Amino acid sequence: MADTGTDTFRQFKQDLEQKVKVAKAAGMSSQEIQSRAQEVGDFLASHYDPRSPEQRLLKELWAVSDRNEQQSLANAVVKLVQR
pLDDT digits (tens, 9 = 90+) for 4-35: 666 777 888 899 899 999 999 999 998 999 89
- Provide the domain count of the chain: 1
- Classify residue 50: in a domain, yes or no: yes
The pLDDT score that the predictor gives to residue 6 is: 67
- Classify residue 23: in a domain, yes or no: no
- Classify residue 1: in a domain, yes or no: no
- Classify residue 57: in a domain, yes or no: yes
pTM: 0.78
- Classify residue 80: in a domain, yes or no: yes
Q: How far is CA 57 from CA 37, 45, 48, 54, in A?
A: 16, 11, 13, 5
- Classify residue 78: in a domain, yes or no: yes
Q: The domain containing residue 83 runs over which residues?
A: 28-83
- Classify residue 13: in a domain, yes or no: no
